[in-house]
Chains A and B, each alone.
Chain A
Amino acid sequence: MNSGDCLLWVLYASLLALLPTVLVAIPALPIRWKRSLGFLLTVAFCLLLIVVGIHALASPALHASIPGPLTDLAWQFTLDPLSGFFLLVLGSVGFAASLHAIGYFYHGSQSKLKQVLLPYPVFVTAMVWVLLAANAYTFLVAWELMALSSTFLILVEGQDQRRQQAAYLYLLIAHIGALALFVAFALLSHGDLISNGNFQRMAQSPYSPVVANAVFGLTLLGFGAKLGLLPLHAWLPEAHPAAPSPVSALMSGAMLPVAVYGLLRIDWQILPAGAGWWGPLWLGLGLSSALFAVLYSALQTDMKRLLAYSSMENMGLILIALGLSRIFAEQALWSLAALALVAGLFQVLNHAFFKSLLFLGSGSVLHATGTLEMSHLGGLIRSMPQTAFLVLIGIFALAGLPPLNGFASEWLLLQAFLLAPSLPSGMLRAILPLAAAGVVLVTAVAAFAIVKFYGIAFLGRARSAVAKQEAGIWERASMAFLALFCVLLGVFPGRVVDSLSHITALLLHGSQIAHQSALALTPISAQRASYLPGVFLLGIALSIAVVFVLVWWRFGRSLRRAPVWSCGFAADYSAQTQDSPTGFSQPLLRIFGVSLSTLRNRQGGRNTLPVQIPDPFWKGFYLPWGRVTLWIAEGISRLQHGRITSYLLYSFLTLIVLLVFFR
């Protein structure tokens, strides 16, 4: 088998991975077989993706072409280090999510399993095709397939009005984005998608500044809608909670990065030389999205909504890194550009691991307790100790604590920011430190939000919902896999950074950052700054061990559980007296002046005040646009009045006009 066949085998495997969609249709097969076979097939496929992705990271590009429906229109694919990296991300998340899905859908009915297993493999395969696509046609078909299959997955858990609205909003924004991409590709191929649709050919052909700027704007709209950039983020906090947890993990950990891949492929590889304002625009948009998202993430009371906003924040951070890299590249500071780019890609990888871990963890919580509303939860650490421990690792990673992986990438990003003084432009030199301060604020508030996530739901005492059992073996196995890599990626960041060098070489004219030793991370030079995660790990392990031994020695080994100390009063405090999720984020509300709308309603004789945190963009952006659209539609519908004579007149006049202008 020569290496060119490798890509073809992946493509055949991606078709084979669609087998579960056929499998569920066989009535004779028992439901247990369908579930295990269906998801295990995806698990195996994702393992293959991981292997191929790692292999491709250090290999030259492979090409494949499969005859398409029309003579000149072929399905073209390329596997290069860039797509290999994103295949690795997709494979890891898909592996864990599919393992988790076996347990997650264990109690589902036959019809529900059908609803999942029909679109689920299509979703994974479509993402693989997007990542491997080498021409506009293949890319757009796979992109649309990805959007459609994920829409159906949002509706798996039930089709109540809220879910339908979430799916509709998602589909609407996805289609607006896809439309922008369509136009962008039409511009890139000089109006001929069939003969000029190949990405390599696009990269070689020259573009006027007007066309390049238009393509940049359109792709920012198209991929930004998928990334959840302001103001096209509204679907994220709706769709993620509506979808089943393995799907949320896939959407957050793998589908959002696919949009990052699109930005890199088109705005970087095909349009390497852009206007000077592209980088700052990415940076500014990323920063404002991240700030907005992290604030709203800290205010949420639904576990998955909180994670959804946090995903948006992470995408903002990644875009900041890409923008910074672009700014450096514009000034030909290639090694600094490589550093920022590596920070962004590393963040993609880390986000995939810790965010899908947390989504899967919240899925297990939903299973055990039946709710994701934090004001009903609490004390899960006692009923689900193993899940709680695995989620804690994800929490540490997301909060950016050393020696876990989240810290490594954020540290790299800040190191890149600290090198901004080497830029020649005074304006950027002045602004970039402010942006760096913004990034630090984002990471700090993100840590606050995620502490709330864990503290309210897992610590303290159970409020109203009680966990019945620990998560199943499949679910724990999937989370353990992700948690293990959260640690490994954090302890050996040098290896990760080294393996990304081929991507930076591909995108930044062969430049890459210095070779790293296995245990340390030194972005520029050892004199300037370096980070030794192993030392951190050792130090933390040592101090914990010392404290543990001391406590053991002083107080003995028996665990004692006592009632809450009530300051000497003879009161038995109920669980409701604990800090509530809304109360926890009260300081942020005060500081940032976010307006809350409360709805008072009477339920079961008790006064409850459920707090709603409305997204300001909903009222300020979406509703006005909706009104304008409706207004135009009503104007157009006046043409439709049921008089056949007038309808005939319309076609008559159209005919005349066409005859006059196109004779």
Chain B
Amino acid sequence: MIMHSILAHSAIISPVLRILAAWMLVLSFALLAQRRLLSLIRLLAWQGVTLAVGTALVGQLTGDPVLWVSAVLTLSIKGILMPYVLHYLLRRLQVRGDVEMTLNVPSTQLLGILLVVFAFSIAAPLDGYLPAATHGMLGIALAAFLLSFLMMITRRKAISQIVGFLAMDNALFFAATSATLGMPLIVELGIALDTLIGLVVIGVFFFQIRDTFDSLDLHYLEHIREDK
């Protein structure tokens, strides 16, 4: 029965899924290029919404009602709650202006392209083990993951690091839902809870860091290491 419904829907749904995946990658590149903190958070929210839509489509494709629950959760947590909290933090901490980058935008973008090529070359051999509807998705998920990692490396401000961290989480989530057609709800809930707790802890840290150094620039943290 399930196989039948997959075959019936896949003709319409898989192209849409592919477009969403491409959109995910575009958003990751945008995150890598964006200098303004406010826009970063907005892009993160868009990623969350894309994930939610993707999950819903996969739910439609497989006919698994649990994935719909997951889609609603994703939308509320990743699409609305987290960006809102980050936005609130931004206002409370009165961080303004541009993000300082350790590497300029064009070079970062070029590095990003290399990473995408690398990710696809890694993921291509694995396509044989995955359902036909999701070919290429794993590569995109891996690319998005590496791009978020690169973003964390190239930024200095604490807020942009947390954005990179959440984007990494999004990429993993994308790999789990789109590339392998869903994972058990309990695992998903666990991951969501972990991310939320991580966000709370990091939020507390933000205040501590700002109180200690009068800035959220992580470069000041270098002074607190153990002395020889």
Measured CB to CB, the residues of A under 8 A from B are 634, 637, 640-645, 648-649, 652, 655-656, 659-660, 663
By the criterion of a CB under 8 Å from any partner CB, how many residues of chain B are at the interface? 21
CA gap between A648 and B151 in the complex, in Å:
10
CA gap between A634 and B226 in the complex, in Å:
13
Known: A655-B146, A656-B146. 9 other contacts (CB 8 A): A637-B228, A642-B223, A642-B224, A645-B102, A645-B154, A645-B218, A649-B153, A652-B149, A659-B122
CA gap between A637 and B227 in the complex, in Å:
11
Task: Decide: B149 and A648 in contact? CB cutoff 8 A.
Answer: yes
Measured CB to CB, the residues of B under 8 A from A are 102, 118, 122, 125, 146, 149-150, 152-156, 161, 218-219, 221-225, 228
CA gap between A660 and B122 in the complex, in Å:
7
CA gap between A660 and B221 in the complex, in Å:
32
Known: A637-B228, A644-B218. A663 touches B149 (CB 8 A): no
CA gap between A640 and B222 in the complex, in Å:
10
CB-CB < 8 A to B152: which residues of A? 648
CA gap between A279 and B125 in the complex, in Å:
55
CB-CB < 8 A to B221: which residues of A? 642-644
| In the complex, residue of chain A having the shortest beta-carbon distance to the beta carbon of B161 | A644
Say what secondary structure dominates the interface of chain B.
helix
CB-CB < 8 A to A642: which residues of B? 221-225
| In the complex, residue of chain A having the shortest beta-carbon distance to the beta carbon of B154 | A645
Task: Decide: A648 and B153 in contact? CB cutoff 8 A.
Answer: yes
CA gap between A648 and B161 in the complex, in Å:
10
Task: Decide: B102 and A652 in contact? CB cutoff 8 A.
Answer: no
CB-CB < 8 A to B218: which residues of A? 644-645
CA gap between A652 and B154 in the complex, in Å:
12
CA gap between A513 and B155 in the complex, in Å:
79
Tell me the minimal C-beta distance from B173 to chain A in angstroms: 18
CA gap between A663 and B222 in the complex, in Å:
35
A-B contacts, 7 of them at CB < 8 A, read A641-B222, A642-B221, A645-B102, A645-B154, A648-B152, A652-B149, A652-B153
CA gap between A130 and B149 in the complex, in Å:
49
CA gap between A660 and B153 in the complex, in Å:
20
Known: A644-B218, A645-B156. A652 touches B122 (CB 8 A): no
CB-CB < 8 A to A655: which residues of B? 146, 149
CA gap between A649 and B155 in the complex, in Å:
12
CA gap between A645 and B228 in the complex, in Å:
21
Tell me the minimal C-beta distance from B67 to chain A in angstroms: 28
Task: Decide: A652 and B225 in contact? CB cutoff 8 A.
Answer: no
Known: A637-B228, A640-B225, A656-B118. A645 touches B125 (CB 8 A): no
CA gap between A645 and B149 in the complex, in Å:
10
**B153 partner, pick from A637, A640, A645, A663, beta carbons under 8 A:** A645
CA gap between A586 and B136 in the complex, in Å:
85
CB-CB < 8 A to B102: which residues of A? 645
CA gap between A318 and B60 in the complex, in Å:
78
Tell me the minimal C-beta distance from A658 to chain B in angstroms: 10
Task: Decide: A663 and B228 in contact? CB cutoff 8 A.
Answer: no
Tell which of A648, A656, A659 has the most Cβ of chain B within 10 Å. Answer: A648
CA gap between A652 and B164 in the complex, in Å:
13
Task: Decide: A643 and B222 in contact? CB cutoff 8 A.
Answer: yes
CB-CB < 8 A to A656: which residues of B? 118, 146
| In the complex, residue of chain A having the shortest beta-carbon distance to the beta carbon of B150 | A652
Tell me the minimal C-beta distance from A80 to chain B in angstroms: 50
Tell which of B125, B150, B155, B222 has the most Cβ of chain A within 10 Å. Answer: B222
CB-CB < 8 A to A660: which residues of B? 122
Tell me the minimal C-beta distance from A279 to chain B in angstroms: 49
Task: Decide: A663 and B125 in contact? CB cutoff 8 A.
Answer: yes
Tell me the minimal C-beta distance from A35 to chain B in angstroms: 45
Shortest beta-carbon contacts, A-B, top 4: A642-B225, A642-B222, A648-B153, A644-B218
CA gap between A656 and B221 in the complex, in Å:
26
Tell me the minimal C-beta distance from A631 to chain B in angstroms: 13
Task: Decide: A663 and B225 in contact? CB cutoff 8 A.
Answer: no
CB-CB < 8 A to B149: which residues of A? 648, 652, 655
CA gap between A488 and B121 in the complex, in Å:
79
